[in-house]
Chains A and B, each alone.
Chain A
Amino acid sequence: MARKVSIGRKVGFTALAWTLGCLMFFPIFWMMLTGFKTEVGAIASPPQFFFTPTLESYKDVIEQSNYMRFVMNSIIIAGGSTLLALVVAIPSAWSMAFSPTKHTKDVLMWMLSTKMMPPVGVLVPLYLMLQYFGLLDTRTGLVIIMMLINLPIIIWMLFTYFKEIPSEILEASRMDGAVLWKEIVYVLLPMALPGIASTLLLNLILAWNESFWTLNLTASNAATLTQFISSFSSPQGLFFAKLSAASTMAIGPIMVLGWFSQKQLVTGLTFGAVK
C-alpha cells in the first residue's frame, strides 16, 4: 500500500476484521474444543470453555474405526481425480482461451450445465453401470467419477485464468519456432502456474468434501472420510464429543493444507484482474 494509513483507521479495521474473523471461525473452534471434552461435558450448561481436556473421545474414535484407511482413500480419490482432471482440462482450457471460436462460450456453458443434474436422480443407473464394469467400491471407479464431476469447474477456472495471459507472448514464442507442446510446457505453464495451483487446491477441497458419491458408491475398500463421519453421526446415545473429534480428524488434513497454501490460493485466483 502506497497510501498512508492513519493509525486510528488501522486499529479500527484490525479490530473489526478480527472480531468478524473470530465469529466466522467460532463454530470450528467450538467443534475442536468439544472433541476434547467428555460426552457429558460436551452438552453441559452453561457451556464449558475451561475444563480438563481429555483424549477419551479421540481414543474411542481411533479404536472404533480404521482412520488411516479412510484418510488414504480420501487423499487418493481427491488427489487422483484432481490431477487427472487437470491433465484433461489444461489442453482444453488452452484451446478455448487462445483460439476461441464463436461457440466457445456456449461450450463453456454447456460444460457447466453438465453439473446441474441432481446426483441422486442418476444414482441407480450409475450404480448399475459401475457394477457392470466391476468398479463399485474401487478407488479407480471413484477417481473417474470425481474427475468427471469436477472437470467443468476446473476447465472453467483455468479458462478464466489463461485469459489473463497476453496471447502476444505465446505468439512471440511461436515466431521463435517453438512447437506446440513446447509452447504449452515452457511458456504457458510457468506463467499459469499460480492459477493452476489454486485451481488444484480449490478442487482438492471440493473433492475432499464431496459426500454423495463417495458415500453411495463405496463399501469398505474405497470408503473415504465421509463414511468415517457417517459412522459417528446420530448413533443411539450421546455423541457430540466423539462426533467433534471425528469431524476434526476428517477436516484436519484439508484444513491444514488450506492454511499453508492460503497465500497461493489467494494469489492464484485472479478473477476480474485487469485485462
Chain B
Amino acid sequence: MKLSSMLIGACSAFALFATAQAETVTIATVNNGDMVTMKGLADDFTKSHPGIELEWVVLDENTLRQRVTTDIATKGGQFDVMIIGAYEVPIWANRGWLVPLTKLQEDEAYDANDLVPSVADALSVDGKLYAAPFYAESSMLHYRKDLVEAAGLTMPNAPTWEFIGEAARKMTDREKGINGICLRGLPGWGQLGAVLPATVNSFGGRLFDEDWNPQFDQPEWHEALQFYVDILKDAGPAGSSSNGYAEIMALFQQGKCAMWMDATVAASGLTGADSTVADKMAWALAPNTGLGKTAGWFWTWTLAIPAGTAQQDAAAEFIAWATSKEYTKLVAGVKGWAQVPPGTRTSLYENQTYLDAAPFAQLTIDSIRAADANNPSVKPVPYTGVQFAAIPEWIGIGDSITQQFSAAIAGTKTVEEALAEAQNIATREMRAAGYID
C-alpha cells in the first residue's frame, strides 16, 4: 500500500518534472488573526498530506495586495495559493488569472452547496467557483449595552442614523474617556473607504451612476459625509482621521467607545481574551435612514489558485482543507466555537453549539444575507460590490478620495472641499480609463 502510493506519486511527479520530491506549496496570506490561526493549525494538514510541504508568506494587508497583484499580473509564479478578497476574485477570474475550483465544487465531502449562497455567488463567474471563502463578513453595530442603558436609551434592532447620532452624543463623556461612537477615518479604500461608501448607501447614495459618472458631488454624499464628520467631531475619539480597524479595536477593547459600526468579525475580538468589555457587548443591524438600505457591507477573504502554478493539485488539497467543515471543528477545539471563521457555511448557523457560544452569530449571517453586491444602493448602479466597485481602477480611486474625506474628518478641509476634490479625482481617473468622455 505504502509502496504503491509512493510509486504512483513518484510516477506522476516524474511525468511532470522528471524529479520526485515533496511538493512545496507557497501560500501568501494576510496577517489577520484567523489566518495566523490557520498557519498555526497547518500541522494537521501536513500530517494527513505527507507529500506536501507548506511555505508561508505572511504580510500586512496592503503589502500582500501589492505583492500578489504584481506577481499574478506579471506571471511571476511565486505563489501557489493566494489569500485574496471579494474585490479581486471577479476581476482576476475574468482575466483568466485564477484556476476554477471545479473539483472542489464537485467534491461531496467538501459540500460546496453548504456555502452561503450570496458568498458563493460573489466568488463565482459563470457558475464556476474561482475562490473558496475562508471567512465572510458584513458590517453591524457593536455597542456597549451597559452604557446604552445608563444613558436611558433602548437600542432598536434596526437603528436609524438619527438615533445613533443622538445616542452617540448622549453617551459621550470625555472626562471619563468614553466616546459615544468610534468610526474609521484612516485613508485607504479598505479602511475609511469601506465604511463611508456603505454609510452612503444607507443615505441613498451610490459610487457611480449607470453611465459611470462619479457621484461624490451629489447631495446624498454631502449629507452622509457631513453626518459622519459631525458625529465624529461631537462624539468620536481624538485622532479619528488616523484610526483604522485595528486602532478602533484597541480603543473599544479598552472601553473607550460606546458604539462602533464595523465588520461583523470584530465581534470575536470584542468578546475575546484581550477585551475588557467582553461581557458588556450587544449588537444591532448596521444603521439606516429609512430608505430601504442599511450601512451593511459585504466582504470575504478567500483562498485562490493563480493560473500557471505547477502545484495546482496540492494547492487545491490545501484549500479544501482550510475551508472545510472539519477545519471549523478543528478551530473550535483549540480556540472555542466563538472564534471559528464565520459567515461562509450555512451548516455553521444550524449548529446550536455555535449559536450558543457566539451571541452575534445570527445577526452576522442575517447581515451577510442582506448584503446585495448587485444592488448595493437604492438607485441602480453599473458595478458589483457593496462598499466598493469591482473595477480595476477602484483601489486607486478609493485610496485617493479617502485621503480627501479623511482631511474633512481631521478638519483641515471642509466637507464641500473634500467632496469637490474627490469628484475631480475620480472623474479624472474614470476619464483616463475610458469609462466616461
Contact = CB atoms under 8 A, between A and B. Distances in A.
B28 A235 contact: no
B59 A227 contact: yes
A259 interface: no
A214 B61 CA distance: 17
Given A234-B61, A234-B244, A64 B40 contact: yes
Given A43-B250, A219-B26, A237 B274 contact: yes
B76 A131 contact: yes
A63 to B, nearest CB: 7
Interface stretch (B62-70, B93-101, B140-148, B201-209): B62-70
4 A-B pairs closest in CB distance = A231-B58, A219-B78, A220-B55, A235-B31
A123 B32 CA distance: 26
B63 A127 contact: no
B74 A237 contact: no
Interface of B: 26, 28, 31-33, 36, 39-40, 55-61, 63, 66-67, 70-71, 74-79, 177, 244-246, 249-250, 253-254, 265-266, 269, 272, 274, 276
B318 to A, nearest CB: 15
A227 B58 CA distance: 8
Nearest to B26: A220
Nearest to A221: B55
A216 B60 contact: no
A238 B254 CA distance: 10
A39 B276 CA distance: 12
B32 A236 contact: yes
B63 A215 contact: yes
A232 B30 CA distance: 10
A261 B266 CA distance: 47
Contact of B76 (A136, A227, A232): A136
Contacts of A131: 74-77
B40 A63 contact: yes
A131 to B, nearest CB: 5
Contacts of A215: 59, 63, 67
Contact of A234 (B76, B78, B246, B265): B246
Given A216-B66, A233-B60, A40 B274 contact: yes
A127 B74 CA distance: 8
B269 A236 contact: yes
B59 A235 contact: no
Nearest to A219: B78
A230 B59 contact: yes
Contacts of B265: 236
B83 to A, nearest CB: 13
A237 B31 contact: no
7 contacts: A124-B70, A219-B79, A230-B60, A231-B58, A234-B60, A237-B272, A237-B274
Given A220-B55, A234-B61, A236-B269, A136 B253 contact: no
Contact of B57 (A123, A216, A220, A237): A220
A40 B33 CA distance: 16
Nearest to A120: B66
Nearest to B256: A45
A143 interface: no
* Interface bin, chain A: 20 to 34
Nearest to B68: A219
Interface of A: 39-40, 43, 45, 63-65, 123-124, 127-128, 131, 136-137, 215-216, 219-220, 223, 227, 230-240
A137 B61 CA distance: 20
A215 B266 CA distance: 29
Contact of B31 (A39, A63, A232): A232
A109 to B, nearest CB: 33
B245 A64 contact: no
Given A123-B70, A232-B31, A236-B32, 5 more contacts: A127-B70, A215-B67, A219-B26, A236-B246, A237-B249
B276 A216 contact: no
Given A63-B40, A227-B57, A230-B63, A238 B76 contact: no
A39 to B, nearest CB: 5
Contacts of B253: 40, 238
B246 A231 contact: no
A235 B60 CA distance: 7
Which of B31, B71, B249, B253: most chain A Cβ within 10 A?
Answer: B31
A236 B253 CA distance: 12
Contact of B249 (A40, A63, A64, A236): A236
B220 to A, nearest CB: 30
Nearest to B67: A216
Nearest to A231: B58
Given A64-B39, A235-B32, A216 B59 contact: no
A239 B76 CA distance: 32
A79 B59 CA distance: 24
Contacts of A124: 70, 74
A237 B254 CA distance: 12
A235 B247 CA distance: 10
B274 A39 contact: yes
Contact of A238 (B57, B58, B77, B250): B250
Contacts of B36: 64, 235
A239 B249 CA distance: 10
A213 B266 CA distance: 33
A220 B434 CA distance: 38
